């Protein structure tokens, strides 16, 4: 009996105490802090950002109302100095934000090549995908960011990468009507005849969205 009691006491002592959930007041305070952080990043006010983190260093990996971390926001706006500051102060380079996207995917969608370059230099995973299976190259293609597409391809991105619907960057560029991006993707080896899960080619996706001139151009390439 004494042995059992001793073992029970040891087990209790070795069980780590669970952290208390934040109070409603703490949650509200952090939400307010993230609003200030987001605004400082959007406006490029690095000194103001530093002041906010000296007040609340734990907010570096918090989330704003849109579910983006400060690093996501800095990447989206191409704020390279802020990326450096945030990473040097503990920001998670692979943080997951809205739709489970990473900061690199945010930089790609915003077309900020230097921000993407910096994140890759700091160790960002170029092959990370979001909850829809979109790679950084998909994000750049959807948003018509030709320079970013070129950069990512130079970094080894797969021009025929598939998302969760089996759509390639070319599918998305075509659906969005971005002819320049379609041209550079095809030049880099994108297949114009590839089909998604619904059997749709890039030309079909372009025509669905009334980009008829682009659809005709892609349809001709399918036959070559």
Neighbours of 199 (CB within 10 A): 8
Is 10 within a domain?
A: no
User: Same domain for 114 and 141?
Assistant: no
pLDDT tens for 44-82 read 999 999 999 899 999 999 999 889 999 999 999 999 999
Alpha carbon 192 to its chain centroid, in Å, reads 26
Q: What is the pLDDT of residue 221?
A: 95
The tokens of 66 are what? 């849109």
User: Same domain for 136 and 108?
Assistant: no
pTM score above 0.85: yes
Final residue of a structural domain among 128, 145, 172: 128
User: Same domain for 149 and 107?
Assistant: no
Using CA atoms, how far residue 65 sits from 43, 51, 68, 91, 209, in Å, is: 18, 21, 7, 18, 31
CATH number of the domain that residue 83 is part of: 1.25.40.20
SS3 content of the chain, % helix, strand, coil (to 5): 60, 0, 40
User: Same domain for 158 and 73?
Assistant: no
Final residue of a structural domain among 128, 147, 166: 128
User: Could you tell me which residue, 103 or 10, shows the higher pLDDT?
Assistant: 103
Query: Up-side HSE of residue 116: CA atoms within 13 Å toward CB?
Result: 28
Q: What is the pLDDT of residue 20?
A: 76
Is 1 within a domain?
A: no
Is 24 within a domain?
A: no
User: Same domain for 108 and 140?
Assistant: no
Is 2 within a domain?
A: no
Is 67 within a domain?
A: yes
The tokens of 6 are what? 């001793």
Is 124 within a domain?
A: yes
Is 171 within a domain?
A: yes
Q: What is the pLDDT of residue 23?
A: 86
Q: How many structural domains does the chain have? A: 2
Final residue of a structural domain among 110, 128, 146: 128
Is 11 within a domain?
A: no
pLDDT band (50, 70, 90) for residue 192: very high
Residue range of the domain that includes 188: 132-224
- Percent of all residues in the chain with a pLDDT value above 90, rounded to a whole number: 82
């Amino acid at each position: 009996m004494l042995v059992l009691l001793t073992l029970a006491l040891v087990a209790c002592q070795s069980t780590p105490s669970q952290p208390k959930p934040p109070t409603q007041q703490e949650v509200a305070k952090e939400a307010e802090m993230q609003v200030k952080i987001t605004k400082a990043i959007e406006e490029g006010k690095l000194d103001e950002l530093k002041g906010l983190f000296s007040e609340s260093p734990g907010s570096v990996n918090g989330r704003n109302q849109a579910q983006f971390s400060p690093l996501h926001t800095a990447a989206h706006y191409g704020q390279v100095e802020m990326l450096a500051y945030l990473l040097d102060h503990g920001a998670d380079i692979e943080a997951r934000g809205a739709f489970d996207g990473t900061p690199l995917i945010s930089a790609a969608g915003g077309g900020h090549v230097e921000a993407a370059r910096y994140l890759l230099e700091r160790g960002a995973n170029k092959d990370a995908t979001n909850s829809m299976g979109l790679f950084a190259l998909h994000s750049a293609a959807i948003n018509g960011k030709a320079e970013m597409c070129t950069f990512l391809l130079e970094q080894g991105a797969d021009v025929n990468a598939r998302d969760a619907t089996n759509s390639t960057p070319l599918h998305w560029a075509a659906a969005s009507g971005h002819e320049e991006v379609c041209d550079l993707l095809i030049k880099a080896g994108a297949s114009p005849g590839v089909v998604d899960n619904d059997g749709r080619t890039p030309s079909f996706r372009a025509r669905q969205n009334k980009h008829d001139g682009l659809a005709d151009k892609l349809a001709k390439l399918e036959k070559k």
